[in-house]
Amino acid sequence: MSTLDDKAKEVSAEAVDEAETESPTEVNEKKQDNGPWGYIILFFIIGFAASLVIGWGIFPKVLYSQKKQPIDFNHVLHVAAVEEGCESCHFFREDGSFSGVPKLAQCVECHEEVQGEDPNEAKFVEEYVAKGREVPWLVYSKQPDCVFFSHIAHVNMGKMECDTCHGHIGESTHSKVYEENRITGYSRDIWGKNIAGLKKNTWDRMKMDDCAECHAENKAVPKTVETLPWPISWMPRPYEKPASSQVRVQIDKDACFVCHK
Amino acid sequence: MKVCRRSFLSLVIGGAAGTALSPLPWKLIDDSSIWTQMWPWTPVPEDGEVSHVNTVCSLCPGGCGLTVRKVNERAIKIEGMKGYPVNDGGVCLLGLSGLQLLYGSTRVKTPLKRTGARGEGKWEKISWDEAIAEVAKKLADLRAKGLSHTVGCIAGSDRGTVAHLLGRFLTAYGSPNFIRTPSMQDSYEQTMYLMQGAQASAGFDVENADFILSFGSGLIDGWGSPVRMFKANSALKNKGKLVQVEPRLSNTAAKSDKWIPINPGTESALALGLAHVIIKESLYDYDFVNNYSFGFDDWTDDQGTSRKGFKQIVLDEYSPDDVAEITGISYSTIIDLAKSFARASKPLAICGRGQGNTPGSLSEFMAVHALNALVGNINKKGGVWAVPDPDYIRWPEVEMDINAAKGMRANRIDGAGGKTYPDSRYLLNRFPEAVNSGKEYPIEALFVVGANPVYTLPDSRAVKEAFDKIPFVVSFSSYMDETAANADLILPNHIFLERYEDVPMPAGLQKPVVGLSKPVVKPQFNTRHVGDVIIQIAKAFGGGIADSFPWDNYEACLQETLGRKWDTLNEDGFWLDSNFRAPGWERAFDTPSGKFEFFPRTLAAKNENTFPQFSPVEPEGNEGRFPLILIPYDYMRLASGFIGDPPFAIKTVEDTVLKGNDILVEVNPKSGRGFREGDQAILSTPKGSVKVRVHLFDGIMPGLVAMPRGLGHTAYDEYLADKGINFNELIGTVEDPVSGLDAAWGIRAKLTRA
Ligand code: SF4
């Protein structure tokens, strides 16, 4: 049995031992002083570099799964064949709502029979037209359920072009791969091809900040949504008006509910 | 190389720094927040084309117009129809929850035939052809044996084409036993008939009244047409007064201008007491009383005997002092109330307790109606109107063969229209007793349409016993309700959002209106319109019965019947008789005297003491054994009719009414001595004992216990079944001496520790 005092003595004895054994090699140790630091830095760099590789390179690959559209669709071919351009298939309904992805009924108007040689065409007619099944198109621009977006307000009233948000999709000859976020179930097009979220074109991303950017630029009043100097999720709720005049988000009562239903 | 601890730490720090400079953490944070908005188990309507369909609700007698929003083929939301003459854009909780009735789990999805014991829940799916053949065969067998009159039909309504098809079928087949489920409508119809000689329903111009005196009618608890009453009540706030007379502080009482607690069951005494004051102070409408009424002053009957008039009886026997004694309301309150009622420019007195789901005492209805007559607001703006049924069902007479004629000559099983109760049309309250005693004749087959008698009729045990005695019960319910669960065959009807049907005369409306229920969505299951099924059964018989149903199907029948109204109904959702005006006083009364009868001659000939008299309806039970009195109460969030609360609605019931699965009964702290809030107790009445919890409530008069209606379902789904107690298990019926309708308003009870 040892008392506290005993323990204290034992410890100090060890310390003396160590000091004694180390003293003869003192010179060598000084020479190698750079050694441990070198390793430390080396490991820091390894860790740093590896995580950058993971974060920038591997993570995006793992995060998104790659899906093919059920039918490879050629926009160019169709635009050339139809009379009213984009509106032939993507149009406003009578009540002003937008019919974005065409329903089978619209396709059937022309595709009751197989046309041409394309195997995609044959598959389309066989599997969908003949069976009366809707094609489960994957929608690149699908927003979360709580987001309310009115096409007519933007296209007819705001006079915006489709490609401002959707890019030059009308000029594609094949359906591009649909990359689905494994966590959210959303298309990569919402966050943007660039994993850092940087964009070159207006249509590269479709997040709230992108809406806000355009609204701020165009002073789309009265329900202006403007960019924040920080991510929107950092805002205190309910959104209060902070002292800084930098705040450029709509803070009117009910403003949030214009877009978030 | 020696990898020491420091190197490892440095690797980790390097990794952390690198990670922070990569998009990984930021993207993950963002994605997880999006994920929370996107939980796959949150139901979200699909994207698609939005459309709106107008239709009419038939979940209660209110008959509101609805606008249903659809996305593609799915109904998404039910809203009130703007411009509809009943509810103008409003909707109630039950109507709003209609989608859960459409898509929910309580639907009967295909015709079912019982395989186990009654109520055991064992069913076999059968085809429609088999089902119809089985019913037709059973009915044909009975008819061949000369027993056609032993077939009965209980229906939720006797108006509109579906009810008429049912009645027509019974007539052609040979049974007089079409019975409508009871409600205040029975008493009001009879009041209208006896006092005004009108075959009409009572319409209340509540929007134009400026003083509503309600004898327990829950204007905002679901009385009459609930949404309309809500609106009228709100409008009244700015221009008039509501005085609520009832023993319990209901929501209506709480929101009224004045709540007058009254000894339960003494309402007619108060009405007569008010009449006393009005007459004594000469506050009545001279023109109406002198020129358009009969029996106010003393009169001589056909035998030459002189009889006291209404005036004399009321002056002699119902002085405020006497009435104060009976009702427990103070002398001065009675005087003030009478004066303010009579002096208001458009006073209106209404009755029918709670939601008006029980008929009540006829003399009470007549006493209240006499108040309206005294102030002359019969058939006038802001008053009570006699509204005839819209007369659009004009089918050729049924050709009855010998069997039919013989069957139709049999007495009705419920005794309505018979010797004892000649002026009553339906007496479902007498049905269980008639079946159980077998005095008249046994009932061999029963159809139930738009009704759930096993749940809604008082004295559940007797009702269950009667059903057990009937060998062949066919339910046409869309839902697995209590009656369907106890049937032999279920032939599920489309629900109101899937079918065409005319919905005439919203309860209590003072204008003749016909609404049209339209299919909002395609039938979701293998159900069939009850109208079609009746036509098909009739056709299966061939001969005269089939000939009475010349239509190919129900829709053809409906279109043909509505004729020119069909287009209006399809476009606007309703048809309103624009020529209809307040009937006024000239030639409006088709009584023996041609006037409004304060003292109905037909009654006086039979029995002198029926009216105007306060003859208390005593609650059943012995006062010594059962010191308290149990009364029911109605409440907007609990559907107590043939439809039970859907999940949305039951969720809104607060925990002073239902806590977990336990029902709470309201007791005044003075009568609930020894009980603390929420205590368990046994509530017993002569009809049975149940476990309840106690809610101490100052808003109920001492000596009473109040229990909500609409709970205690045993059928439907897990959201509703086994929650609380069905009030009907605890109460019996008391026959009104004049009408034979159920006049019970409460029953003696006791509360003991559990
Ligand atoms: S009040 Fe009656 S008719 Fe009107 S919406 Fe509610 S349940 Fe339907």
Beta-bridge mates of residue B704: B629
Dist. CA B516 → ligand 1 center (Å): 14
Q: Which atom of ligand 1 lies at the shortest distance from residue B228's CA? A: 1
Contact across the interface for B30 and A54, Cβ inside 8 Å: no
Dist. CA B644 → ligand 1 center (Å): 13
pLDDT digits 0-9 by tens, A187-201: 999 888 888 888 889
CA–CA gap between residue B736 and residue B365 (Å, rounded): 12
Count of beta carbons in the 10 Å neighbourhood of residue B675? 19
User: For ligand 1, is residue B81 a contact (CB within 6 Å)?
Assistant: no
- Is residue A17 scored above 90 in pLDDT? no
Domains of chain B: residue spans and CATH: 112-184+391-492+529-551 (3.40.50.740), 206-382+583-605 (3.40.228.10), 628-753 (2.40.40.20)
User: For ligand 1, is residue B94 a contact (CB within 6 Å)?
Assistant: yes
Residue B736, min C-alpha distance to chain A (Å): 56
Average pLDDT over residues A119-137: 90
Residue from B64, B78, B86, B497 to probe ligand 1 pocket by mutation (most atoms less than 8 Å from CB):
B64
Residue from B67, B92, B183 to probe ligand 1 pocket by mutation (most atoms less than 8 Å from CB):
B92
- Given the structure tokens 């062949």, which residue do they identify? B472
Contact across the interface for A39 and B16, Cβ inside 8 Å: no
Chain A residues whose beta carbon lies within 8 Å of the beta carbon of residue B74: none
Strand order in the sheet with B211-217: B258-260, B241-245, B211-217, B347-354
pLDDT at B336: 97
Residues of A in CB contact (< 8 Å) with B are 36, 39-52, 54-56, 59-60, 63, 93, 95, 97, 99-100, 144-146, 181, 183-186, 191, 195-197, 231, 233
CB neighbour list of residue B9: distance below 8 Å, 6 or more residues apart = none
Contact across the interface for A55 and B18, Cβ inside 8 Å: yes
Dist. CA B221 → ligand 1 center (Å): 12
Q: Are A151 and A91 in contact (CB under 8 A)?
A: no
Chain B residues whose beta carbon lies within 8 Å of the beta carbon of residue A48: 14-15, 17-18
Residue from B56, B57, B93 to probe ligand 1 pocket by mutation (most atoms less than 8 Å from CB):
B57
- Is residue A30 scored above 60 in pLDDT? no
Chain A residues whose beta carbon lies within 8 Å of the beta carbon of residue B21: 52, 55
Mutate to test the interface with A, among B8, B11, B67 (most CBs of A within 10 A): B11
CA–CA gap between residue B208 and residue B228 (Å, rounded): 13
> Considering the entire predicted model, what is its pTM?
0.84
**Out of B10, B12, B18, closest to residue A49 by CB:** B18
Dist. CA B91 → ligand 1 center (Å): 6
Mutate to test the interface with B, among A40, A64, A134 (most CBs of B within 10 A): A40
Dist. CA B87 → ligand 1 center (Å): 9
pLDDT at B658: 96
Count of beta carbons in the 10 Å neighbourhood of residue A117? 7
Q: Are B10 and A43 in contact (CB under 8 A)?
A: yes
Measure the CA dihedral B694/B697/B701/B706, to 10°: -40
User: For ligand 1, is residue B95 a contact (CB within 6 Å)?
Assistant: yes
When pLDDT is cut at 50, 70 and 90, the band that residue A252 belongs to is low
**DSSP assignment of B159-195:** -HHHHHHHHHHHHHHT--EEEEPP-HHHHHHHHHHHH
Residue A3, min C-alpha distance to chain B (Å): 32
For residue A246, the one-letter residue type is Q
Residue B404 has phi, psi (to 5 degrees) of: -65, -45
Higher pLDDT, A164 or A213: A164
pLDDT digits 0-9 by tens, B296-325: 999 888 888 888 899 999 999 999 999 999
Residue from B78, B86, B88, B91 to probe ligand 1 pocket by mutation (most atoms less than 8 Å from CB):
B91
pLDDT at B672: 80
- Is residue A1 scored above 50 in pLDDT? no
Low-confidence ranges of chain B (pLDDT < 50): none
Which residue from B516, B512, B526 is spatially nearest to B555, judged by alpha carbons? Answer: B516
Q: Which atom of ligand 1 lies at the shortest distance from residue B643's CA? A: 7
pLDDT at A219: 64
**Out of B4, B14, B38, closest to residue A44 by CB:** B14
CA–CA gap between residue B624 and residue B133 (Å, rounded): 56
pLDDT at A11: 46
Residue A1, min C-alpha distance to chain B (Å): 33
CA–CA gap between residue B528 and residue B537 (Å, rounded): 13
When pLDDT is cut at 50, 70 and 90, the band that residue A238 belongs to is very low
Residue A142: closest C-alpha in chain B: B47
pLDDT digits 0-9 by tens, B628-647: 999 999 999 999 999 999 99
Higher pLDDT, B272 or A251: B272
CB neighbour list of residue B323: distance below 8 Å, 6 or more residues apart = B269, B270, B272, B273, B276, B329, B334
Contact across the interface for A183 and B11, Cβ inside 8 Å: no
pLDDT at A14: 46
Q: Which atom of ligand 1 lies at the shortest distance from residue B95's CA? A: 5
Whether ipTM > 0.85 holds is no
SS3 for chain A is CCCHHHHHHHHHHHHHHHHHHHHHHHHHHHHCCHHHHHHHHHHHHHHHHHHHHHHHHHHHHHHEEEECCCCCCCHHHHHHHCCCHHHHCCEECCCCCEECCCCHHHHHHHHCCCCCCCHHHHHHHHHHHCCCCCCCCCCCCCCCCCECCCHHHHHHHCCCCHHHHHCCHHHCCCCCCEEEECCCCCEHHHHCCCCCCCCCCHHHCCCHHHHHHHHHHHCCCCCCCCCCCCCHHHCCCCCCCCCCCCCCCCCCCCCHHHHEC
- Is residue A13 scored above 60 in pLDDT? no
Q: Give the DSSP H or E segment for B554.
A: helix B554-562
Beta-bridge mates of residue A113: none
Dist. CA B463 → ligand 1 center (Å): 27
**Out of A39, A145, A231, closest to residue B38 by CB:** A145
